[in-house]
Chain A
Amino acid sequence: MSRRLRLWLFAVGAAGVAVLFLAAVLRMPEFGGVVHPLRAAVLDAAAAHRTPNVVSAVNYDQRAIDTFGEETLLLTAVVGAAALLRGGDDAPPPRPPRTMEAVRAVAYLVLPVTLLLGLATVVHGALTPGGGFQGGIVLGTAVHLVYLVGGRAALDRVRPVTVYVAGEAVGTAAFAATGLAAAATGAGFLANVLPFGTAGSVLSAGTVPLLSAAVGIEVASGVVVLLAGFLRQGTAGDEAAG
C-alpha cells in the first residue's frame, strides 16, 4: 500500500471518528453539571448493595462480567509476554549493583509503606477509592524496591517467580469460581449473592471484597511475572561485568 493511499485511508477513518466523537460529545450531559441520569442509577444500585466506593460497585458488582473479561485479557497478555520473554539467563549475578546510599535508604523506608498501602487498597476495595486492580499494581511494583536495595540476587530471593505464576492463575480462578458459585445458587454468573453486612465494615458489600481480593492477587502476580521476564532479559550479565 502506497504512502498516499495509506494517508487517504487514515483521513477517511479519522474523519469518521471525529464526526461520531463530536456527535457524542455534543449530546453528553454538561461537564461537572448536576443532572446525570446514569450517575443516579449507579448510585442507587451501589447504595442498595452497601458499597460506598461506587467505582468498585460498578467494577465488581454491577458490571462484574466486564471485569472478568478484563481479568482474562490481562492473564492472556501476561502469558503472551512471558512466552516471548522465556529463556535468557536464569542464574542471578553474584554481586549486587552499585546503588547510591540515598536511593537504598529511601527504598528501605518506602518498601513497607508501599506494601501496606497496596494491601489496604485491595482490602478496602468496597469502601475507599481503589480496589483490587489499583492495589495489585501498587503491590506488584512495591516488590521491586528490593531490587534497588540488593539487586537481582536479593530480588530473586524474596520473590520466587513460580509463586507469582501460580498466583496469577489462582487469582483468575478465584474470580471465576466466585462467579460460578453465584450461578450455582440460581442468581446468575457473578451475581452478588452474599449478605451485604453493615456499610463501612471491611466484610460488607457481599462479593465485592472477595472479587477485589481475587483481582488484587492476579494483578500483583501479573506485574511481578511480567517484570521478572523483562528484568531477566534486560539485566542478564551486566552485574557480573560491572
Chain B
Amino acid sequence: MTVLVAAALVVVAAGGTAVVLTGGPAAQAVTLSGYGLLLTVLFAVLQAPDVGLAQLAVGTVVVPLMVMLTVRANARAARKRRR
C-alpha cells in the first residue's frame, strides 16, 4: 500500500510540474485535465473515493472546460476588435 501511495504521489508531483511547464492557457487546460485524473487516482489509493469522484468532475471536466471557454471568448473578442 505504501508503495502505491508513494508511486501515486510521485506521478502527481510530475503531473503538477507538467501543468506548470505547459505554455499557453488553452494547452494548459488539457494538461490540467490530465492532472485532475492523476489526483483522482491518488485519492482512490488513499481510500477517499468520494473525494476522488468530486475531483474527477471538478478538476478533470468543469475547471478545464471553463478555462477553454474563457480562452475562446477572449479570442473572439480580440478578433472582433481587430475588424
Using a CB–CB cutoff of 8 Å, the interface residues on chain A facing chain B are 32, 55, 121, 129-131, 133-134, 137-138, 140-141, 144, 223, 226-227, 230-231, 233-238
Using a CB–CB cutoff of 8 Å, the interface residues on chain B facing chain A are 1-2, 48-51, 53-54, 57-58, 61-62, 65-66, 68-70, 72-73, 76
Chain A CB within 10 Å, residue with most, of B49, B50, B73: B50
Q: How far is it, in angstroms, between the C-alpha of A138 and the C-alpha of B55 when the chains are bound?
A: 10
Pick from A55, A133, A235: contact of B72, CB below 8 A: A235
Number of A-B contacts (CB under 8 A): 58
Q: How far is the CB of A131 from chain B (nearest CB, A)?
A: 7
A134 touches B61 (CB 8 A): no
Q: How far is it, in angstroms, between the C-alpha of A144 and the C-alpha of B57 when the chains are bound?
A: 12
Q: 6 smallest A-B Cβ distances: which pairs?
A: A234-B69, A129-B50, A137-B57, A130-B50, A230-B69, A233-B73
B54 touches A133 (CB 8 A): yes
Q: How far is it, in angstroms, between the C-alpha of A55 and the C-alpha of B61 when the chains are bound?
A: 24
* Seed contacts A129-B50, A234-B70; 8 additional CB < 8 Å A-B pairs: A121-B53, A133-B54, A134-B54, A140-B57, A141-B57, A226-B62, A234-B69, A236-B73
